[in-house]
């Protein structure tokens, strides 16, 4: 699998090259710092369980990763984030309009890679997923600063923002591998649940870990007014009139800018037990995800996918 991922990496680097040396260097740095390549790995694992057409799988996997990278560029620009994984974001280096155009360029390159698979269903999955990602980002923008929102609202948002691309990766891999329709549906369901768990753990880490581990300020979601499962659970533990509830309301609404007050609130969330509760919710998604793998007859492929699901829970950054 390592050699397959190296081929994906090479394909990504070629597709992300821009004929403007300064911009190309910025994008290359961003792409090379792209993390664990989880979505390409998931696509390869899903295809590996069936007919292993490596060239098409590599092409689709590179497209999925570029789609992910482009969405992060736009996400950082919207959030005005200065750091990602401890490195400066594009919007901390160049004008916002140029950042948007670079993100659009990578979106276009990812679409071209999807088309290069010569599989119309892969292209349809790609288009649908791009719509889902935009939906998730829009919901995050318009749900921001509103503490009173339900679990279903939160889950729909993180499905679009994160889980939809996990689902697409697995579905594309299964489709390219010519898996039976029922198996394609099961793998998509598996990856959706893993993606949900992944984002919930991401929300937990945002409050649990320090800035050095995260590569960004601790509690960034809270500081930006983004309501996550831990903050929702914390609010539920607070009785009416509790001053911590009023403090949480002020921070989420953007009316509290005291770093000392925000740090004290983060400490209160950490000591409340809600991070463990949220982690258990993520664990339930992983259990459900694994149940979808019963359709896969190849024990080796099934085990690798189970390990992929478990990794969503065990990460620290």
Tell me the domain boundaries of the chain.
2-314
Distance CA 181, CA 37 (A): 26
Distance CA 54, CA 47 (A): 9
Residue 282 contacts residue 194 (beta carbons within 8 Å): no
Is residue 39 predicted with pLDDT exceeding 90?
yes
pLDDT at 234 (0 to 100): 96
Residue 57 contacts residue 5 (beta carbons within 8 Å): no
* Rounded percentage of the chain residues whose pLDDT exceeds 70: 95
Is residue 216 predicted with pLDDT exceeding 70?
no
pLDDT at 211 (0 to 100): 66
Among 194, 247, 183, smallest CA distance to 46 is for 183
pLDDT at 240 (0 to 100): 82
Domain 2-314 superfamily per CATH: Farnesyl Diphosphate Synthase (1.10.600.10)
pLDDT at 203 (0 to 100): 96
Higher-confidence residue: 35 or 110? 110
Distance CA 273, CA 15 (A): 45
Residue 124's alpha-carbon distances to 36, 120, 159, in angstroms, are 26, 6, 18
pLDDT in tens, 156-205: 999 999 999 999 999 999 999 999 999 999 999 999 999 999 999 999 99
Is residue 210 predicted with pLDDT exceeding 80?
no
pLDDT at 18 (0 to 100): 85
- pLDDT band, very low/low/confident/very high, at 83 (cuts 50, 70, 90): low
* Rounded percentage of the chain residues whose pLDDT exceeds 90: 68
The enclosing H or E element of 184 equals helix 181-208
Is residue 87 predicted with pLDDT exceeding 80?
no
- pLDDT band, very low/low/confident/very high, at 55 (cuts 50, 70, 90): very high
User: Which segment of 11-15, 76-80, 263-267 scores lowest on mean pLDDT?
Assistant: 76-80
Residue 265's alpha-carbon distances to 32, 70, 268, 284, in angstroms, are 35, 33, 5, 27
């Amino acid at each position: 699998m390592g050699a397959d991922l190296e081929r994906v990496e090479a394909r990504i680097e070629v597709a992300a090259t821009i004929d403007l040396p300064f911009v190309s260097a910025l994008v290359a740095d961003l792409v090379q710092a792209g993390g664990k390549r989880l979505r390409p790995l998931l696509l390869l694992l899903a295809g590996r369980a069936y007919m292993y057409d490596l060239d098409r799988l590599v092409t689709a996997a590179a497209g999925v990763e570029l789609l992910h990278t482009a969405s992060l560029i736009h996400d950082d620009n919207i959030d005005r984030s200065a750091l990602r994984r401890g490195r400066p974001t594009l919007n901390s280096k160049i004008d916002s309009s140029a950042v948007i155009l670079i993100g659009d360029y990578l979106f276009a390159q990812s679409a071209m890679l999807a088309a290069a698979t010569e599989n119309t269903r892969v292209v349809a999955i790609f288009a649908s997923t791009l719509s889902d990602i935009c939906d998730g980002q829009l919901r995050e923008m318009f749900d921001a600063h509103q503490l009173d929102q339900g679990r279903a609202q939160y889950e729909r948002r993180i499905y679009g923002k994160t889980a939809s691309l996990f689902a697409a990766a697995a579905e594309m891999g299964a489709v390219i591998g010519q898996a039976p329709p029922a198996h394609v549906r099961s793998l998509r369901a598996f990856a959706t649940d893993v993606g949900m768990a992944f984002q919930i753990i991401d929300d937990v880490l945002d409050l649990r870990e320090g800035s050095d581990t995260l590569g960004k300020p601790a509690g960034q979601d809270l500081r930006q007014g983004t309501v996550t499962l831990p903050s929702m659970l914390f609010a539920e533990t607070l009785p009416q009139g509790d001053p911590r509830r009023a403090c949480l309301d002020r921070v989420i609404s953007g009316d509290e800018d005291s770093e000392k007050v925000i740090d004290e609130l983060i400490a209160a969330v950490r000591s409340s037990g809600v991070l463990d509760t949220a982690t258990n919710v993520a664990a339930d998604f992983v259990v459900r995800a694994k149940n979808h793998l019963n359709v896969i007859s190849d024990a080796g492929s099934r085990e690798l996918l189970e390990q992929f699901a478990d990794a969503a829970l065990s990460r620290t950054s």
